[in-house]
Amino acid sequence: MKRLRVGIIGQGRSGNDIHGHTMSLLPRYFDIVAVVDPLKVRRDNSAAKFQCETYKDHRALLKRDDLDLVVNATPNHLHVPIALELLKTGHNVLVER
pLDDT tens, residue by residue, 4-62: 999 999 999 999 999 999 999 999 999 999 999 999 999 999 999 999 999 999 999 98
Domain ranges of the chain: 4-95
What is the side-by-side strand order in the sheet with 93-95? 53-55, 30-36, 4-9, 69-72, 93-95
**DSSP assignment, residue 22?**
H
Spell out the CATH class of 4-95.
alpha beta
Which has more confidence, 42 or 85?
A: 42
